[in-house]
A and B are shown apart, each in its own frame.
Chain A
Amino acid sequence: MNWTIALAAILHREALRFVGQRGRFVAALVRPLVWLFVFAAGFRAALGLSITPPYQTYITYETYIVPGLCGMILLFNGMQSSLSLVYDREMGSMRLLLTAPLPRWWLLFCKLLAGTLVSLLQCAAFLAIAALWGIRLPLSGYLLALPALALSGLMLGALGLMLSSFIRQLENFAGVMNFVIFPMFFLSSALYPLWKMAEASPRLRDLCNLNPFTHAVELIRFALYGQVNLTAALWVSLALAGFGAAALWGYDPARGVQNRKGQGG
C-alpha cells in the first residue's frame, strides 16, 4: 500500500513538473524535429534505401529515421533525468527520495518509471507532428509502439542511472553528449540501416550490433509497423536488466555513492 502511494506521488510530481516546464518540452521536441525537417530532407537525395523488413515498399529517408528519432528522444531524456539526480539542482530531492522508508530499489524504479513516462509523452507529440508532416503509420503500429518505447525508455533511463552512480567525470552534460549520447546514437541503426554501414566497414556494423541502442531503435521500428522484433526485445530487456542491476549496486549505501562526488566534509 505504501509502495503504491509513493509510486503514484512520484509519477504525479514528474507529470506536474513536465506540465510546468513547457520550455523543456519544446526544447526536447525541437531536436528531433530539426533532424526530421532539415537533416533528413537534405540526406534524402544522398542515400538510397532498399526494401528491408519491416518496410514493404520503397520509403523516403524521413520515414526511415522516425523510429531512430523516437530513440533519440528516449536517449536524451533518459540521460537528462537520471543525471540531473547528481547535479546540485536535484541533489536535495534525490536525498529526500532516498530517505523515504521504502526499499531503495523501489524508489529508484519509481524514479525511472516517472522519467520514462515523460519520454513517452514527448514521443507521442513527436509522432503526432510527424503524422501532420505526412509520415503516417498504421494504427496498430502506434499501439504496439507504446510498450516498445516504454521498454526502450526504461533501458536508457537505467543506463543513465547507472552512469550517475558510477562515473565521476560525467558531471556536466557536455561530457555525456560526447562520450555516451553521440557514440550510441551514431553507432546505431537510427540514421542508416546496418547493411549500409557494412558497406563502409563490417567492423563498424558489428559494433552497431552490440549497441543496445540499435536494438531499441529496431524494436521501435518494427513495432511502429505492427510487428514484434523478438531478438531486439530480448536484447533491450537484457540491457535493462544489466544496467538496472549495476545502478542498484552503484546506489548501495554500503558503497557510499555520493561520497566520491565531493559531498563529504
Chain B
Amino acid sequence: MNGLEVRGLSYRYGPRQALKEVSFSVPKGRFCALLGPNGAGKSTLFNLLTALFTAPEGQIMVAGVNLSQEPRRALARMGVVFQQPTLDLDLTVRRNMLYFAALHGISGSEAARRCDAALEQLGMGERAAETVRALNGGHRRRMEIARALIHRPEVLLLDEPTVGLDAASRAAITDHVHALADQGLSVLWATHLTDEVQDNDLTLLLHKGVLLAQDTAANLRQDQSLQDAFLRLTGGAVQEHGGGGLR
C-alpha cells in the first residue's frame, strides 16, 4: 500500500491555475522530494494535502484513507512540518510537545512518555524544561520534526523545512529524515534545493503547477548534476511557454 497517493489533483485561484492534474504516489518507506522553484505550486499542494483547502478535482489518499471523505482519520495518520515556525517561543520544549500531543488526543502519562522518548532521540532530553527561545534554528526544526511524529503517523510531510538554516544543520536534518524513511515512514519533502535530494530518492519535479517529471533522482539527472537537470527541465518548460510553440 502506498503511504501517500494523489490522483488528478487540480486547483485554481480564480483564473490562475495553480495545480493541473497532478498525480503521484509515495510508497511506504520512501523519501520523495518535491522539487520546484518558488511559485511552482508546492505550497498549494501542501495546503491541499493538509486539508487546509479542499480541491474540487482529484483525490488524496493518506495511508489508504481518503482525505476528503474522512479528513480526521486521514489527518491522524499524517505528520506535518510547516514552513512557518509553529512553536511557542516562550513556552518550554516539553510544553510545546505536550500541546501538540493533546491536539491529537494523547494526554497524561502516555503523552509524557512519548514526549520524553522523542526528545531523548534527539539528544535533547536535558533541555526539555528550557524555553524554545533558547534553542537555535536547527534544534527548533528537529524538535518540530520529532513533534510531528508523536502520534505515530505513517506519512510525514515537510514544507521547505531547511529554510533559514546553516549548511551543517541542513545536512543533519536532511540525513535525519532520510533515516526516518528507511524506518518505514513515507516522506514528502518539498524543497527548491537540489543538494537535499539523494540519488535513490523519488523526485517530483513541479513547475508552474504541472508535474514535469517523476522518477528517482538518479534517473532524472543521468550524468548531469541534479541542479543542471532541474534547470534543463524547467528551462525547457519556460521556453515552451514563452515561445508558445509546443503546447
- Chain A partners chain B: yes
B105 within 8 A of partner (CB): yes
Contact A6 B103 (CB under 8 A): yes
Main secondary structure of the interface of A (DSSP, over half): helix
Contact B54 A253 (CB under 8 A): yes
Contacts of B98 in A (CB 8 A): 9
Contact with B along A229-252 (1 / 0, CB 8 A): 000000000000000000000000
Interface-located stretch among B35-43, B118-126, B219-227, B232-240: B35-43
Contact A91 B47 (CB under 8 A): no
Contact A21 B104 (CB under 8 A): no
> Which B residues between 100 and 134 are near A, CB-CB below 8 angstroms?
100, 102-107
| Cα–Cα distance between A97 and B52 once the two chains are bound (Å) | 11
Contact A265 B38 (CB under 8 A): yes
A202 within 8 A of partner (CB): no
Contact B13 A264 (CB under 8 A): yes
| Cα–Cα distance between A99 and B147 once the two chains are bound (Å) | 14
The A-B contact count (CB < 8 A) is: 108
A101/B105 contact (C-beta < 8 A), A17-B88, A95-B82 known: yes
> Which A residues between 80 and 125 are near B, CB-CB below 8 angstroms?
88, 91-93, 95-103
A101/B82 contact (C-beta < 8 A), A9-B103, A265-B39 known: no
CB closest residue in chain B, given A6: B103
| Cα–Cα distance between A97 and B80 once the two chains are bound (Å) | 11
Contact B43 A264 (CB under 8 A): yes
Interface size class of A (residues with CB under 8 A): 35 or more
> Which B residues between 35 and 59 are near A, CB-CB below 8 angstroms?
38-44, 47, 50-54, 56
| Cα–Cα distance between A263 and B82 once the two chains are bound (Å) | 13
A201 within 8 A of partner (CB): no
| Cα–Cα distance between A13 and B54 once the two chains are bound (Å) | 29
B52's partner among A9, A253, A265 (CB-CB below 8 A) is A253
B210 within 8 A of partner (CB): no
Contacts of A2 in B (CB 8 A): 104-105
Contact A100 B103 (CB under 8 A): yes
A5 within 8 A of partner (CB): yes
Contact A92 B72 (CB under 8 A): no
B136 within 8 A of partner (CB): no
A59 within 8 A of partner (CB): no
CB closest residue in chain A, given B19: A264
A93/B42 contact (C-beta < 8 A), A9-B102, A101-B72 known: no
CB closest residue in chain B, given A7: B102
| Cα–Cα distance between A2 and B78 once the two chains are bound (Å) | 17
Contacts of B43 in A (CB 8 A): 263-265
A258 within 8 A of partner (CB): yes
A138 within 8 A of partner (CB): no
A53 within 8 A of partner (CB): no
Contact with A along B73-111 (1 / 0, CB 8 A): 101101010101110101100010011101111110000
Contact A259 B13 (CB under 8 A): yes
A101/B76 contact (C-beta < 8 A), A95-B50, A96-B82, A259-B53 known: yes
- A17-B91, A100-B75, A259-B53 given; 13 more Cβ-contact pairs under 8 Å: A5-B106, A9-B107, A12-B99, A20-B91, A95-B52, A96-B82, A96-B100, A99-B50, A99-B52, A99-B75, A99-B78, A254-B53, A256-B53
Residues of chain A whose beta carbon lies under 8 Å from any beta carbon of chain B: 1-2, 5-6, 8-10, 12-13, 16-17, 20-21, 88, 91-93, 95-103, 253-254, 256-260, 263-265
5 closest A-B pairs by beta carbon, nearest first, are A9-B102, A2-B105, A92-B84, A92-B86, A100-B103
